[in-house]
Every structure is written in C-alpha cells, then in structure tokens.
Amino acid sequence: MANATRKWNRDTWPIAAAMIQYPNILADGRSVQDQSVEEWALTLDDVVDAGFTELDPTDSWIRLADLSSARLESFVKLTRDLGLTMPGISTARRSVIDPVHGDEYLAYGHRVIETAAAIGAGSVSFGFFGPLTDAQKKALWFWTVDGVKNPDDAAIWQKGVSRIRELGRHAEELGIELALEMYEDTYIGSADSAVRFVTDVGLANVGINADLGNLIRLHRTVEHWQDMMAKVAPYAKYWHVKNYNRTEDETSGLIVTHPAPLEFGVINYRTAIRLALSHGFQSPFLCEHYGGDGLSVSATNRDYLRRILPRD
C-alpha cells in the first residue's frame, strides 16, 4: 500500500469525536438506549458545538447494533440533520474471547459490522480488553490499576484469531475494515504481539488500531512509542488518537503519566502519522481524551491533526 493514491487531505480527512465521556447509564438509571430522539439530540448538540462533522457512536455510550431498525433509522436521521457522518464504530470491553460472554460478544460483533454497513461506516474497532475491575473503577485513572489479562494460552490465542478472522470475512463482504485496538495485557498489548496476531488472522482488511496512548499511559516500563509505531505502521487502520505526558525517574524507578492534548504529549503525532502515511494509511481518526472536558480537548486535537495532515 506504500504508494497507494490517497483518498483524503487535511480538509477532508474523517476525524471523529469519541463519546467516551458520555456514559450509557444515566443519572436517573435509564439507559441511553431508551432515550428519545430529542434527548439524543441534546447530547449530540455538544459534538456539533465542538465543531465536529464526524461522530463515532462509541458503544460505551450507545449500542447502535442493539437498537431496533426503526430506532436506528431515527438515530441516523438525527445525525444527518445535525450535519454529522459516522465513519466508524468503536466497541469497548466486549471481547470475543471473554470467558463468560465470548459467544454473545461474537454475535454482537457481527451485528456491529452489519450496522456499520447500514449507516455507511467503513471501519469498526474491536478489542480484547475486559470490563473494568472494581479497583479500576475506584481509581482516579483506571489504567494505574491492573485489569483483566488475556491468558497465556495458545488455544485461547487461536480461538481469538479464528473469531476475528470470522468477523473479518463478514466485514470484507461488506467492504468494511476491522482495526484491533492496542491495549495492555491483551493479545494486542504490544507492537510485536499485535503484528503477530493480525498476521495470524491473515486478512487484508484486518489491521491494528495503533492506540499507543493506551500503552504510553501505563505506570510501568513500555517500549518507546517510536519503536512501536515503526512495527505497527504497515498494519494501521482505524486509529484512536490520544496522548499523555510521561515522566520516568531512572533513579527511583518512579513512572507517572497524565492525559495531554495530542501536540503536547510524549508521542510525536506528526512523526507517527507521517510514518503511517508512508505505508499507505487511509483510515479515519478518532479523537479521545480522558479527564476534564474531554470533548473540547478532542476538538483541539482534531484541529491539530488538520494542521499536520497532507495538504493534498
């Protein structure tokens, strides 16, 4: 893909807002799934006011694949009325190798792919990370506490490969790409493991969501972001972008991280994106940010991306 014709430039590249700062369960105990169209509109007005023209209906906020056909049609109409398009759908904490819900999540994954096709989204992001533990929910930053780990088990690895290949073939039939999200202690938890996994899957439309922020934020030793990016760039697809400040005290061993806007964190996204582009990267971006007004920081990050993406 290294010299493939580019589809977009800095003005047209799809850069979506994530909805991670909006919970699925509301303060009154209701689910976003059951809200009225008018209530959905109040939330999406925030996205429009932040200047976004693209939205990822992240399933930690709303599970489009679990809406009825009529409700899905109403949601899509709302987004269009608001001037929003949906280039991708991201899933979270619904691993197809979950020891309890894996079969359920595999079926859900197929519904997500069909929903993506129905709404005109060309990308879907899946991951192998599990639900937050009670300790993670209590922490200020959940990534400072160890969570669910994928087992060091060749049979489970192969089960994951087989199930992602199954989803990938379904997506391929519908013209959709799958991106597997890099996340600690999963089979996509390091650059080497991620490359090995997608190579085992062996489908051109299945690649890596190079969310290096998920690894750089860890309070432990991790591979340098540039070395990771060099390995995963040839496989990069739908890309979640976020950044962190990271301090490592070699004397004491102390490692401290904190969310940061894209242009101020330790990952140099100008360099990372140019590397991906040199390998033919042609997928949407998704802006995420934890802490504070995550949507506004994401909007700042979107503007930064538009400054550094190719002019034509």
The pLDDT, as a whole number, for residue 248 is 95
The domains of the chain, with CATH numbers, are: 15-308 (3.20.20.150)
Label residue 4 by pLDDT band (50, 70, 90).
Answer: low
**What integer best gives the mean pLDDT of the chain?**
97
Q: Find the length of the chain.
A: 312
Concatenated DSSP letters for the chain?
A: -TTPPP---TTTS-EEEP-TTS-SB-TTS-BGGG--HHHHHHHHHHHHHTT-SBB---TTT--GGGS-HHHHHHHHHHHHHTT-B--EEE--S--TT-TTTHHHHHHHHHHHHHHHHHHT--EEEE----PPPHHHHHSSSGGGS------S-HHHHHHHHHHHHHHHHHHHHTT-EEEEEP-TTSTTSSHHHHHHHHHHH--TTEEEE--THHHHTSSS----HHHHHHHHGGGB-SEEE-EEEEEE-TTT--EEEEEE-TTTSSS-HHHHHHHHHHTT----EEE---SSSHHHHHHHHHHHHHHHS---
| CA dist., res. 200 & res. 28, Å (int) | 45
Two tokens at 188?
A: 């996509």
| CA dist., res. 135 & res. 29, Å (int) | 22
The pLDDT, as a whole number, for residue 92 is 96
Q: pLDDT > 70: what percent of the chain?
A: 98
| CA dist., res. 210 & res. 281, Å (int) | 11
Average pLDDT over residues 218-246: 98
Label residue 65 by pLDDT band (50, 70, 90).
Answer: very high
Average pLDDT over residues 265-285: 98
pLDDT above 90 (res 1):
no
The pLDDT, as a whole number, for residue 55 is 98
